[in-house]
Every structure is written in structure tokens, then in C-alpha cells.
A = this chain, B = another copy of it.
Amino acid sequence: MTDCQVTDCEDVILSMRLIVDQLNDVINRLENEAIKGMLQKTLDAERIFLMGAGRSGLVAKAFAMRLMHLGFTVYVVGETTTPAVQEKDVVIAISGSGETRSIANLGKIVKDIGSTLITVTSKKESTLGRISDIAMVLPSKTKDDLDAGGYLERNMRGDYKNLPPLGTAFEITSLVFLDSVIAQLITLTGASEAELKSRHTNIE
């Protein structure tokens, strides 16, 4: 791409340290009531739907995969055989800005249907944050408008305002948070590695 010679890799290390700092900052500012509410609604759900655009969509899939491993009935919005959302379902949206257009539009439909909506976001006061039953806030320094507009639209227009390192904070934070939610769900459901293995022994 360029003719430049790589003489050091200080920025890699520096950036990793900044991300760790950001994570430590978030850990100290999490609202326990929101976490407990999210855990309770996840445990009580008959079916769970995950949705997100772009890199947040990849985080949504990573979380959905783990929930499936734990035995939950879980779907990713937009995949081939994802069924219609019903009133008693729980839908979890991942959106840093809380404004990603396609996800915000689907969030409104979720509330029309009467389902429970949980949004993992860095902005409580956002379109998605305001209409959600639980706004699970992962605070960050992300500017308000970073993730606004439709994801595919911005991609089409080449509008990559939320480039790293700024834009990556939310996706990493949400992946770390959601994998930690999985750790708690393992405790709550009493699933041990041994039990999980035994559940599947008949088909190995």
C-alpha cells in the first residue's frame, strides 16, 4: 500500500494500554441495577433475539453464540431462519451511539410488538436508549453522533467517521462486558463445564 518501512511497533502497545485504561474506566462506572435487570430478563426470556449493525453486529453474534452454548433459545436478526418476534420475547440491541438507523427502526417495531427491548449502548439519552426497557450503558468518550445514520447507508457513502482508535472502544467494551455476562449466567444456571459436556455425551 505504501513504501514505508516499519521500524517500531510502539503504537500497537500504546493502543492496547489505552484500551485497557478504557476498560478499567468502564468497570468502575457500570450501574449494577441495569446489569441485574439485564441478567433477570435474559434468564426469564423464552426466546432471545440479538441485533446490531457492522462491528456491533459481530459483537451481537459473538454473544448469541455463547447464549446458544448455554442452552438458551437465541436468534440473530437477519439470519436465514430467524422467526418473527413475539410479545414475550426479549430483544437485545447493540449500538454504541444508540442511533444506528436500521437498528433504531427495528427497536421501534420491537416496542410496537410489545416485546422487551434491552439496548447495550454508550448513550442512555439516545433514540434506542430512550425506548428501551433497560438501557445497559457502557460509558465511553465516543462523540454523540459517531454511529448515527443507517449502517449500510454510511458504508455506501464511505462515511467512516468512527475510525479507530476512537470508534473501537465501544465494540471491545461491549464484547468484554457480554462475555462477563456469560460468566455470571454460568454461575446462575449452575452450568459447569462437566455438566455442559454431559448434556451432549449422547451425540459424541
Contacts and interface: CB of A to CB of B under 8 A. Distances in A.
A16 B11 contact: no
Which secondary structure dominates chain A's binding surface?
helix
Given A20-B24, A150-B105, A203-B86, A68 B81 contact: yes
Quickly give the copy total for this chain: 4
Contacts of A106: 152-153, 156
A19 B179 contact: yes
B69 A15 contact: no
Contacts of A190: 2
Contact of A200 (B27, B157, B168): B157
Contacts of A69: 160, 163
A57 to B, nearest CB: 9
Interface stretch (A31-39, A92-100, A122-130): A31-39
A16 B12 contact: no
Interface in A1-28: 1-2, 4-17, 19-20, 23-24, 26-27
